[in-house]
Each structure stands twice: as structure tokens, then as C-alpha cells.
Amino acid sequence: MYELLQKLHSWWAYLAIAVLVLAVINAFIGYSSKKHFEAKDLRISLFALIFTHIQLILGLAVFFVSQKGFSAFGTEGAMKNAELRLTMLEHPLINIIAIALITIGWSKHKKAEGTAKFRKILFFYGVGLLLILSRIPWSSWLG
């Protein structure tokens, strides 16, 4: 069960990050060229929101069944072990914050007008993307 969830979480991350990067690039182009926010822009932003939320659900499932997740909190010296600290604390916490920011960006863009819609998406989704990229366990993800 754990291996399946772990693989799904890892592979879905490629999709979620790709769609999130697309949303950030789309928002940057829309904001810098002062385009009108269209249905295509809405869909790209919405798909990024949906994909990151699915990734969060998969990640929480992995967190609660993994030996390096929730169950590692009682482990002696866990905070001194960089890999264990990343998987049990830093990765989940920072990614939850990142997805909360993406959700805030989605909510705020709905209330904005004109290019401000792109600006809200660009800022919140961009910061969320940077946070996500900063806490990916690269050694296990690429290896």
C-alpha cells in the first residue's frame, strides 16, 4: 500500500508542478502584456489549483502511512537527521503552506478586475511554486 501511494505521489508531483509552472508563466505573460483574463486563463489556474490539491491529499496519505512521516515524530534524534526531518516536518509543512497560498491566490483573483487577476495568480501561485520546489526531497525523488 505504501509503495503504491509513494509512487503515485511522486508521479503526480510531475503533473502538478508542470501545471503550476504553466499557470505561473501564463499569469506572467497575461500580466506583463496587460491581456484580458479569459476562460483559458481561468482553466489553467483552476487546473493548477486542482492538481496541487490532489497532490496534497496523496501527500497526506503517504505521510500517515510512511515510517518517515507521522510515525517518526517519536523517534530519538529525528530532528538531527536531515533526511528524516525533511520528510516528517519540512516537506509536509511547507507544502501545506504553499497550497494554502495557491488557494488564497485563487480566491483573491476571483474578486480582482482586469490585470489584477493575473497579478494575484502570479504572486500567490509563484510563491507557492517556489516553496514547493524548495522542499522537494530531491535525493529520493530523482533517484
pLDDT (tens digit, 9 = 90+) per residue, 104-143?
999 999 999 989 999 999 999 999 999 999 998 877 766 5
Q: How large is the greatest C-alpha to C-alpha distance in the chain, in angstroms?
A: 55
Q: Higher confidence at residue 78 or residue 38?
A: 38
For residue 141, the model assigns a pLDDT of 65
pLDDT tens digits for range 24-64:
999 999 999 999 999 999 999 999 999 999 999 999 999 88
Question: What sections of 33-79 are H helices per DSSP?
Answer: 39-65
For residue 26, the model assigns a pLDDT of 97
Segment 88-105 shows an average pLDDT of 95
CA angle at 51 for the pair 53 and 112, rounded to the nearest 5°: 80
For residue 104, the model assigns a pLDDT of 98
pTM: 0.91
For residue 142, the model assigns a pLDDT of 62
- Mean pLDDT is highest, among 4-18, 70-84, 119-133, for 119-133
